[in-house]
Amino acid sequence: MSMQKLPMLLTLSISVLAMTGCTDRIGMAEQAMTDIRNQPAQPIEPPPKAELVEDFVYSASSQRSPFLPPSLVNVEGPTTSIDGVRPDITRVKEPLEQYELSQLVFRGVVVSPEGQRYALVQRPDGSVASVKVGDYLGLNDGRIVEITPTQINLIEIVPDSRAGFIEKPQSLVSPIS
């Protein structure tokens, strides 16, 4: 046998052995699956009994939400509709009240020489408007209560589940914070 045929013969014999090993393993797996299929079905355990749990009455609804920034704690007021929180339907709507808050983008803050802080808000059409504390934004009568370098905090008047209205804190956050 020549030296050139030896590596080729060695490679061929290793391939045949490897294929034989694969065939045996596949056959063993098929045999095991056949054995499992031929076994009688095992009974299924019944589900556990449902445990009755007493109703829970949430009693901290009158306390401050831990998710509010501290700047809104004193401004938020009650979280429930006491003496009818209602939107002022006689108030003339401001230009930025025709957009949802998700359509508006907070772009920055400008301070006037007198010290008045204005927030720059970009409309969906790309134009920019300036607003100050006390102005309104969004579709839910959102009154601006604070302007920080990174966000505008406002209080919206939204419908609640009892056919009334509640005040809800909301923020318009800068995309570059």
Question: 108-159, pLDDT tens digit by residue?
Answer: 999 999 989 999 999 999 999 999 999 999 888 999 999 999 999 999 988 8
Question: 50-83, pLDDT tens digit by residue?
Answer: 888 887 776 766 676 777 766 665 554 444 444 5
What percent of the chain stands above pLDDT 90?
A: 32
Q: Would you state the pLDDT for residue 79?
A: 47
Domain 99-171 falls in which CATH fold? Answer: SH3 type barrels. (2.30.30)
Instruction: Please list, in sequence order, all residues whose beta carbon lies within 8 angstroms of the beta carbon of residue 29, skipping any fewer than 6 positions away.
Output: none
Task: Answer yes or no: are the C-beta atoms of 96 and 109 closer than 8 Å.
Answer: no
Instruction: Please list, in sequence order, all residues whose beta carbon lies within 8 angstroms of the beta carbon of residue 131, skipping any fewer than 6 positions away.
Output: 96, 118, 119, 121, 137, 144, 147, 152
Q: Would you state the pLDDT for residue 88?
A: 83
Burial 58-84 (b: 16+ CB within 10 A, else e): eeeeeeeeeeeeeebeeebeebebeee
3 pLDDT more than 60: no
Where residue 174 falls among pLDDT bands split at 50, 70, 90? confident
* Per-domain residue ranges of the chain: 99-171
Q: Would you state the pLDDT for residue 124?
A: 92
Q: Would you state the pLDDT for residue 177?
A: 54
CA separation, residue 67 to residues 63, 75, 122, 123, 173 (Å): 12, 15, 26, 28, 15
Cα 104 from Cα 138, distance rounded (Å): 8
Q: Would you state the pLDDT for residue 77?
A: 47
Cα 110 from Cα 91, distance rounded (Å): 27
Question: 21-39, pLDDT tens digit by residue?
Answer: 556 889 899 999 999 999 9
